[in-house]
Chains A and B, each alone.
Chain A
Amino acid sequence: MTVTEPTSRALDEIKIGGMGASRKRVEDNRFIRGRGHYVDDVVLPGMLHMEILRSPLAHARIKSIDASAAWDIPGVRLVLTGEMMATRNLAWMPTLSYDTQAVLATDKVRFQGQEVACVIADDPYIAKDACEAIVVDYEPLPVIVNPTQALAPDAPIIRDDKQNQPDNVCFNWEVGDRDRTDQAFADADVVSKIQLHYPRSHPSPLETCGSVADFDRATGKLTVYMTTQAPHIVRAAVALIAELPEHLIRIVSPDLGGGFGNKVPVYPGYVMSILASILTERPVKWIEDRTGNLISTGFGRDVYLEGEMALRKDGRILGIRMHTDSDHGAFFGDAQPSKFKIGLLHSAFACYDIPTAHLTARGVYTNKAPGGVAYRCSFRVTEAMFFQERMVQAAADDLGMDQAEFRRINFVRDDDFPHRTPFGFLTDSGQYEKCLQVGLDAIDYPGFLKEKEEAAKNGRLLGIGISCMTEPLGAGNSREYDILGIKMFDSAELRVHMTGKAILRTGAKTQGQGHETTWAQIVAHELGLPADDIVVEEGDTDTAPFGMGTYASRSTPVAGAAIAMAARKVKAKARKLAAHLLEVSEEDVEWELGRFYVRSAPDRGVTIQECAMAAYSNMPDGLEPGLEANAYYDPPNLTWPFGCYIATVEIDPVTGVWDVLRFVAVDDCGVRINPMIVEGQIMGGLTEAYAMASMQFITFDEEGNCIGSNFMDYLLPTAWETPGWELHEVVTPCPHHPIGAKGVGECATVGGPAAFVNAVMDALKGHGVRNVDMPLLPDRVYEAITERHDVSGAPPIRTDR
């Protein structure tokens, strides 16, 4: 093969907004003008408004519902109750994890905030008035708010609606090699143990959920504008479950005001708005209020983790044992795409070279909101990595080893890929030690240790925490990952117009990640079309190719790959057109960015735009006109980005308040398409990590009242509390992704929390404290300092009784 030097006519990739360009975001042009188009901005002629009446009790039998006073209010068009839904067989619906969930309660309510009735009226104020006029007679039942209560022998059965449900266990699951792990513990010099609670948190995108359903009796077409991260899954669910014809269902996901996993599940509100539109033959809008969002929609975490590590004296990890009890609320509503009941919890310890491990997991029903694993984590990976890095720090402490050195000894080495993790995943690339070193250098590790020692002499409490992890992002491959049997691939469709401008559509759905900007850069990289000449559309099932949506950091790993593959198909056809225009055979045509040329005469060439024009005006005999292609991409594996996060903190021993002194993040997410956007994703993720470590949690009192039902009680960090972030990068391209990229959106949220907690625990070393569970509220830290004991479990909520 002859290697041809590129001619000087290749385009400058950064200038055309290709790979590696920190291109300014095109979507911002509308957002900064207040011209975004979110679901609450959708207004249709004759539109009615829906409000939901929610249960004030966490567990109660419904004795009667009297809606007559609601019907009497002028402007009320429809009142729906569970009883009426049941006559249409719609009182219950399947969840995305093979359980069922009540749309409107019929027999009893199972969590505070559960949907009991809904009103459709001329305006939302009337609908809300009418909800208040509905009288529900409840008979209170004993309430269960944690796994211990749920598993007690005399516990009331929450899911008495289900056949074969004798208790409150929703699953038992295990993975790993039990015998080999037992042997590893028998051989261990030291066994280190830890017990943790990862508290319930809520994603709380600033926009709540909502929908505008519009059923047209004349055409039979149902159009639903809704806040969904996965519009095609919704269309499939409506087609398969409600048995409406798929070609007459159009799901449109407009601009989303954040998602973070909160907008993956199908909520009762969506279903009711659809039914209400069918019944009233008018468009029906439902916009959830914040309290409804916080107390009823997909939460994250709420897992009790315990485990132990078998260690050799020299610091090598021999084996891991883990057990989890996860609190799923009243319905097993996880939207998670694996065949594994506990999601990808067993991705824990993937970055360490550990011979064997065993994990048991148990899920329970409680009288709390369902919704499962949402929240900027791919399916229990957040809990996995938190446990991993807390366990690693505890083990290093038990061995009396330096925490960085302990990690270094046990890391999978750069030349040891592909690597089979102790739970069976296959990781494929990384430079873990390098990332750690970049982080340690950035924070000046030896310098800080000295500073800490000096400060201790003056009674100051300084600490440093490290958290390293590689996580599985980008579901699937289709062998192992599906939702309700639909395989986890994704798609792209690229159409190049005659003037060389193009439209690109994918099966993903942006919620702020900047797909409209980034996707065009992939096409620019592949075809040499300036990114500004490519418009990106997503979210409308009538136009977008079938895809599984955006969550689990899967857009770039899967849809991004599909875009590259579609662009390559377009390029293959353009090459034929170029050969025709240049009057040479295809084999004699070479490519440089933006241009085909004749190998033996590099000055003779045609641009990609000239090829596009020829596709419509001068195609060779036998070649189909037009220049477009689609691609469905089934990735061969997950992508495995790596993150190393290092926090330094100072605790005020008088108040228990801790401040972040510095925070260094080193992310290796493979090739970065738009570095500005990648860094934005990382900073956002770190802030949510800090939020969970410091203040953000949803808890319940003993009656099942949600403490955290509004932003006065559920604390989110503001600009004032949020630390500054120092970002660094290492690039190890993904070996199987067409452009070498890995997922990144969730890394910082997954890896970040342990860095903060490890730092606070490091500062408390010598205080007789092994663990304080998140959130590290000042009173909990103060209790640990003054009473010299662990502070564990969900923060207790004292009632007046």
Chain B
Amino acid sequence: MTSLFEEIPQAAAEGVPVRRVTISVNGQPRTADVEPRLLLAHLLRQGFKLTGTHTGCDTTNCGACTVLVDDLPVKSCTMLAVQADGHEVTTVEGLAGPSSLHPLQEGFKDEHGLQCGFCTPGMMLAAKALLAENPDPTEDEVRFGLSGNLCRCTGYQNIVKAVLAAAATMRGEA
């Protein structure tokens, strides 16, 4: 026990199966008992209180819930929490270093790559995976690489600029 007290939850209703999962979230091992049908997005948000991961569509189209699972972008609204058992998950809360923002975070702010902010966490994580694979993408490659993530506010132009700016920073050019 790590806190002063911990309320013992009521036993699950009869017939509800429970699985124990341990997931490394932003470098910290987290353990939870979950129903097998619980979505990863909901475990992150409601269970681990990491509310930077948003759900926008429920059907894997909008990408607001994008997180990295073992460094690959995954839409956490259509991945079960139990499928993440034993894997490493990175959310937006894990992007910044202890004293500095990630270049993508800087880029999105500097280039006005966000408005309402709802798509931004997923967009940045998709971009992180893109840049890991292709550190020096063209504009078209960024547009194609982010085509699994919807934004309703910006028209994407500044998002593309933000990712290109971050890429330059990460290559040490800016």
Stretch at the interface among A31-39, A97-105, A149-157, A439-447: A31-39
Counting CB contacts under 8 A, is A114 at the interface? Answer: no
Cβ of A94 within 8 Å of any chain B Cβ, yes or no, is no
Judge whether A529 is part of the interface by a CB distance below 8 angstroms.
Answer: no
Inter-chain contacts of A680 with B (CB < 8 A): 112, 115, 153-154, 158
Across the interface, B58 reaches (CB within 8 A) one of A257, A290, A513, A687, namely A290
Are B56 and A290 in touch, CB under 8 angstroms?
yes
| A206 with B158: CB separation less than 8 A | no
* Chain B residues whose CB sits within 8 angstroms of the CB of A710 once the complex forms: 57-59, 61
Per DSSP, are chain B's interface residues mostly helix, strand or loop, or mixed?
loop
Q: How far is the CB of A681 from chain B (nearest CB, A)?
A: 8
Chain A nearest CB from B94 CB (Å) reads 9
A347: Cβ under 8 A from any B Cβ? no
Most B CB contacts (10 A, CB to CB) among A33, A38, A290, A719 go to A719
Q: How far is the CB of B48 from chain A (nearest CB, A)?
A: 12
Binds A, one of B17-25, B79-87, B116-124: B116-124
Task: Report B-chain residues with C-beta under 8 Å of the C-beta of A260.
Answer: 152
Residues of A within 8 A of B (CB-CB), count? 56
| Cβ–Cβ contact B120 & A719, under 8 A | no
Contact, CB under 8 Å: A712 / B61 = yes
- A514 CB-CB contact with B under 8 Å: yes
Q: Is A255 an interface residue (CB 8 A)?
A: yes
Question: A205 on the interface (CB 8 Å rule)?
Answer: yes
Q: Mark B20-56, 1 if CB is under 8 A from A, else 0.
A: 0000000000000001011000000100001111111
Please name all residues of chain B whose beta carbon is closer than 8 Å to the beta carbon of A676 when the two chains form the complex.
Answer: 112
Nearest-CB residue, chain A, relative to B12: A74
Query: Are A257 and B108 in contact, with the CB atoms below 8 A?
Result: no
- Please name the residue on chain B nearest to A714 by beta carbon: B61
- B108:A32 contact, CB within 8 angstroms: yes
Chain B residues within 8 Å of A176, by CB:
none
Q: Check if B155 sits within 8 Å of A290, measured CB to CB.
A: no
**Interface core residue of B95, B147, B155, B158 (most chain A CB under 10 Å):** B155
Tell me the chain B residues, 120-174 only, with Cβ under 8 Å from chain A: 120-121, 124, 142-144, 146-160
**A545 at interface, CB cutoff 8 A:** no
Q: Does B62 reach chain A (CB closer than 8 Å)? A: yes
- Measured CA separation A28–B52 after assembly (Å): 13
Q: Is A4 an interface residue (CB 8 A)?
A: no
Does B74 sit at the interface, judged by CB under 8 A? no
Contacts of A257 in B (CB 8 A): 54, 56, 116-118
Whether A34 contacts B92 in the complex (CB less than 8 A), given A207-B56, A684-B155, comes out as: yes
A716 at interface (Cβ–Cβ under 8 A)? yes
| B91: interface (CB < 8 Å) | yes
Query: How far apart sit A684 and B152, CA to CA, in the bound complex (Å)?
Result: 7
Give which listed residue, A34, A205, A716, A718, contacts B93 with CB less than 8 A.
Answer: A34
**Contact across chains for A725 and B58 when beta carbons are under 8 A apart:** no
Distance between Cα atoms of A33 and B148 in the complex (Å): 21
From B123, which residue of chain A is reached at the shortest CB distance?
A: A719
Given contacts A125-B35, A290-B59, A719-B142, contact A34 B53 (CB under 8 A): yes
Contacts of B142 in A (CB 8 A): 719
Q: Chain A residues with Cβ under 8 A from B68's Cβ?
A: none
> Which B residue's beta carbon lies closest to that of A126?
B13
Contact residues in A for B115 (Cβ distance below 8 Å): 258, 512-514, 680, 684
For the complex, give the distance between the alpha carbons of A685 and B152 in Å.
Answer: 9
| Distance A34 CA – B147 CA, assembled complex (angstroms) | 21
Q: Kindly list chain B residues whose C-beta atoms are within 8 Å of the C-beta of A107.
A: none
> Is A256 on the interface with B (CB-CB < 8 A)?
yes
Q: Whose C-beta in chain B lies nearest to the C-beta of A292? A: B58
Whether the pair A32, B124 counts as a contact (CB closer than 8 A) is: yes
How far is the CB of A633 from the nearest CB of chain B, in Å? 25
Q: How far is the CA of A117 from the CA of B116 in the complex (A)?
A: 32
Determine the distance from Cα of A17 to Cα of B54 in the docked complex, in whole angstroms.
32
Is B114 touching A711 in the complex (CB atoms < 8 A)? no
Contact across chains for A38 and B118 when beta carbons are under 8 A apart = yes
A716 touches which of B150, B157, B160 (Cβ 8 Å): B150
Tell me whether B109 and A32 are in contact (CB under 8 A): yes
Contact B116 A33 (CB under 8 A): no
In the A-B complex, list the 3 residue pairs whose CB atoms are closest, starting with the nearest.
A34-B52, A31-B117, A512-B116
Residue numbers of A with Cβ under 8 A of B are 24-25, 27-36, 38, 40-41, 74-75, 125, 203-208, 255-258, 260, 289-291, 511-514, 676-677, 679-680, 683-688, 710-712, 716, 718-720, 722, 724-725
15 CB contacts below 8 A, A to B, read A24-B112, A25-B109, A25-B112, A33-B92, A34-B53, A207-B118, A208-B56, A290-B56, A512-B153, A514-B115, A677-B112, A683-B158, A687-B156, A710-B61, A719-B159
Given contacts A36-B118, A511-B116, 14 further A-B contacts (CB under 8 A): A24-B110, A32-B101, A34-B50, A40-B51, A207-B116, A255-B117, A291-B58, A679-B112, A684-B153, A711-B57, A711-B62, A712-B61, A716-B152, A719-B143
